[in-house]
Structure 1
Amino acid sequence: MRDSRMAGEKQHRLRFTLRTMLGVAVTVLIFFPIYWLLISSFKTQAEMRLAVPTLWPKSFHWSNYAEAFRVIPYARFFMNTLVMSVGIVILQLNVALMAAFAFAKGRFWGKEVLFFLVLAALIVPDQVTFVPVYVMMSKVHWLDTFWALIVPSGASAYGIFLLRQAFKSLNNDVLEAARVDGAGRFTILYRILLPMAKPTVVTLGVLTFISSWNSYFWPLIMTNTNNMRVLSVGIAMLRDSIAGDEAMYFHIIMAASVMAIIPIVLVFTIMQKHIVSAMANSTFK
Structure 2
Amino acid sequence: MTARLLWRPTRLVTAILVTLIMFFPLYWLLITSFKTPAELSSAVPTFWPKKFAWTNYRDIFHAAPFTRYALNTLIQTVGLVVLQLNLGLLAAYAFSKGQFWGRDKWFILVLAALMVPEQVTFVPVYVMMSQLGWLNTFLALIIPHGVSAYSIFLMRQAFKSINNDVIEAAKVDGAGRFRIIYLILVPMALPTVITIIILKVIGSWNSYFWPLIMTNSDNMRVLTVGIAMLKDSFPGQEMMSFHLVMAASVVAIAPIVMLFVFAQKHIVSAMANSTFK
Q: What TM-score range do you get, normalising by the shorter chain?
A: over 0.9
Matches within 5 A, 1:217-232: 217-232=209-224
Aligned to 2:65: 73
With structure 2 as the length reference, what TM-score do the two structures score?
0.98
Q: 1:133 & 1:226 partners in 2: Cα distance?
A: 22
1:256 aligns with 2:251: no
Give 1:167 deviation, angstroms. 0.2
- Amino acid across the alignment from 1:131: V
Aligned to 1:266: 258
Give 1:248 deviation, angstroms. 4.1
Q: 1:229 & 1:246 partners in 2: Cα distance?
A: 21
Q: 1:247 & 1:189 partners in 2: Cα distance?
A: 53
Residue 231 of structure 1 contacts residue 260 of structure 1 at CA under 8 Å; is this kept in 2?
Answer: yes
How many residues are paired up?
277
Q: 2:85 & 2:229 partners in 1: Cα distance?
A: 31
Matches within 5 A, 1:159-170: 159-170=151-162
Q: Out of 71, 92, 97, which is 1:105 matched to?
A: 97
Give 1:261 deviation, angstroms. 0.2
Aligned to 2:196: 204
Q: 2:187 & 2:12 partners in 1: Cα distance?
A: 40
Aligned to 1:44: 36
Aligned to 1:147: 139
Residue 232 of structure 2 contacts residue 238 of structure 2 at CA under 8 Å; is this kept in 1?
Answer: no
- Amino acid across the alignment from 1:30: M
Q: 2:256 & 2:146 partners in 1: Cα distance?
A: 20
With structure 1 as the length reference, what TM-score do the two structures score?
0.95
Unaligned runs of 5+ in 1: 1-7
1:137 aligns with 2:129: yes
- Amino acid across the alignment from 2:33: S
Give 1:13 deviation, angstroms. 2.3
Compared CA separation, residues 236 and 246, structure 1 to 2 (3 A): closer
Q: Could you tell which deviates more after superposition, 47-56 or 208-217?
A: 47-56
Q: Out of 109, 112, 129, which is 1:117 matched to?
A: 109
Give 1:72 deviation, angstroms. 0.8
1:16 aligns with 2:8: yes
1:214 aligns with 2:214: no
Q: 1:75 & 1:104 partners in 2: Cα distance?
A: 42
Residue 81 of structure 1 contacts residue 213 of structure 1 at CA under 8 Å; is this kept in 2?
Answer: yes
Residue 72 of structure 1 contacts residue 241 of structure 1 at CA under 8 Å; is this kept in 2?
Answer: no
Q: 1:196 & 1:31 partners in 2: Cα distance?
A: 35
Q: 1:119 & 1:37 partners in 2: Cα distance?
A: 37
Deviation string 1:51-71 (CA, Å, 9 cap, x unpaired) is: 121111111111111111111
The structure having more radius of gyration, on CA atoms, is: 1
Q: 1:183 & 1:139 partners in 2: Cα distance?
A: 42
Q: 2:14 & 2:236 partners in 1: Cα distance?
A: 44
Unaligned runs of 5+ in 2: none
